[in-house]
Amino acid sequence: MKNQVVIITGASSGIGKALAFEFGNQGAIVVITGRNQANLIEAAADLQAANIQQHAIVCDSSSEEQTRAMVQEVIQRYGKIDILINNAGISMRSMFETVDLKVLKQVMDINFWGMVYATHASLPYLKESKGGIIGISSIAGYRGLPVRTGYSASKFAMNGFLEALRTELIGTGVHVLTACPGFTASNIRNASLTSDGSISGESMREEEKMMTAEEVASVIRKAYEAKKKTLVLTFQGKLTVFLNKWLNSFMDKLVYNTLKKEKDSPLT
């Protein structure tokens, strides 16, 4: 990883920030992006304090124009891109029947289209460096989750896109990894959107019982170095994917009953 240039979108907190430390501690130059300038500056300062080479760029992943400008800034500054980590993401929690459809569009714009924009802008440079693309997806990309229709849709789209792209890139030297964490202790649930598009501001799950963002980042980095194509994290995550393939009706009921137990769940 020494002196490899790694772009990490949505890296001002959570898994993205943990990935910046994980790759940076291996000698990489990490470029972190995010929409919130204050949070991004704070993350950059934390990385600098750890003697990690870093550069922060304010960028809204849902904007193609900002994303292409971000990629060009990286090229002008470093002359190359070795790894693109598509991490920027947002969640939502609402029954589909009552959700404002702008919420689903916002989730898709950040989670799916943000990845598409960054990947399309970076791909010529990744082919030059024979680098890699990592997509931070979710178990929700394998198993649809009630009250998270938009989030699940975005992650299913991400999984399909990355699988198709990985196949297109055979013979180019560009490696593609789809990483699917299970529930992870991060701020994504605190920042999830409600039915009207407002931010929930709190988690509905017991965060202390989940994998930490740092643990997830370590496993992802090792999986990328091992050239794995897909990574499904946690025993619960692996079991969910397996059972959903073979016992779909059973999983409908199990997932429903599990998420019904969440704090203030709209499921009855």
- Catalytic residue numbers? 151
Q: Which two tokens stand for residue 248?
A: 């779909």
Please state, in angstroms and rounded to a whole number, the distance separating the CA atoms of residues 201 and 177: 31
Please state, in angstroms and rounded to a whole number, the distance separating the CA atoms of residues 11 and 116: 17
Between the CA of residue 27 and those of 13, 21, 23, 175, 216, what are the distances in Å? 20, 10, 7, 20, 19
Task: Give the type of residue at 34.
Answer: G
State the sign of the Cα–Cα–Cα–Cα dihedral 205, 252, 192, 89: positive
Please state, in angstroms and rounded to a whole number, the distance separating the CA atoms of residues 45 and 39: 10
Q: Which two tokens stand for residue 83?
A: 């790894």
Between the CA of residue 251 and those of 195, 230, 231, 267, what are the distances in Å? 25, 22, 21, 16
**C-beta atoms surrounding 107 within 10 Å:** 25
Q: Which two tokens stand for residue 264?
A: 């203030």
Q: What dihedral do alpha carbons 211, 261, 145, 16 form, nearest 10°?
A: -30
Residues in the chain: 268
Residue 183 CA to its chain's centroid (Å)? 12
